[in-house]
Amino acid sequence: MYWMNKITSIHNEWMKRVRLLSRRNKRDIEHAFILEGFRLLMEAAVSGIRFERILVDETEMSRAELQKIPQELIISVASGLLARITQLQVSPGVIAIAHMPKADKGILENASFIAATVGLSDPGNLGTVIRTADAVGMEAILLSSSVDPYNLKVLRGSMGSVFHLPILQYEDAIRLINDLRHCGLQAVAADISGSVQLYEADLTGRIALFVGAEAAGLPDELLRLMDMTVRVPMSTRVESLNAATAFSVIAYEIYRQKIDFQA
């Protein structure tokens, strides 16, 4: 009975910690986050993310993926317990507590292609931006006043790409832009009223591609600081594109131009 009570106490302690880390303020304070599901777990593991603990449903303990994880980090929990704390509709089988990776501003000095978001609030959109940035070879993600990249919906939306790129978070967007200028990066913004049509723009230089809030875009004071604002051509039947979609279209055009320029 003593050992059963002790095991239950340990389980309750870690499950309480998972619940706490579902809140952004706790994640920011502790520099830790939670991830759910074996696919995200393995993406994080191969990307060098350090784990604090990994809670595994006892029915999943024989999975081959777990052999690649340090066994002392794994806690087997009774079937059904994870379903009580998961943010998903179906129990993921595994919930891990992980340490946030540290990113150094030094990455900007030699970067040639990065993403910057200001005011992006939808987790699905940020997940798409990160996934696209990874796909086109961007070297970093800079965020200001945007949704937490370690929000579970962002993690899942990025399909693990969030673990592949350094992420720098800024409280002040002006400071973000100043850091880019200091490192010689050109600030280019997606804007519905952009001064240059996308397919007429020279995008072969060292570029930081900006995307703003879903409804309002970038504030006017930031647009005035851009080196270039580009608009995506579209049918007159459509007023605007989703923020992540506009970002993706422009990102792929920059990627294409860079490949052609280097050929």
Q: Where are the domains of the chain?
A: 2-99, 107-262
Give the model's confidence band at 3: pLDDT under 50 very low, under 70 low, under 90 confident, else very high: very low
Residue with structure tokens 């397919």?
199
pLDDT of residue 87: 74
Alpha-carbon span 221 to 74, nearest angstrom: 49
Q: Report whether pLDDT(10) > 70.
A: no
Provide the CB-side half-sphere exposure for 84 (13 A, CA).
Answer: 12
Q: Using CB atoms within 10 A of its CB, is residue 25 exposed (0-12), middle (13-18) or buried (19+)? A: exposed
Q: What span, in angstroms and rounded, lies between the C-alpha atoms of 84 and 185? A: 47
Express as a percent the part of the chain with pLDDT over 90. Answer: 72
> Is the CB of residue 148 less than 8 Å from the CB of residue 27?
yes
Please state, in angstroms and rounded to a whole number, the distance separating the CA atoms of residues 21 and 97.
Answer: 8
Spelled out in words, what is the top-level CATH class assigned to the domain 107-262?
A: alpha beta
2-99 is classed CATH 3.30.1330.30: yes
Residue 169 has pLDDT above 50, yes or no: yes
* CB burial string 168-189: b at 16+ within 10 A, e below: bebeebeebbebbeebebbbbb
Backbone φ, ψ for residue 187 (5° rounding): -90, 115
Q: Is the pLDDT of residue 220 over 70?
A: yes
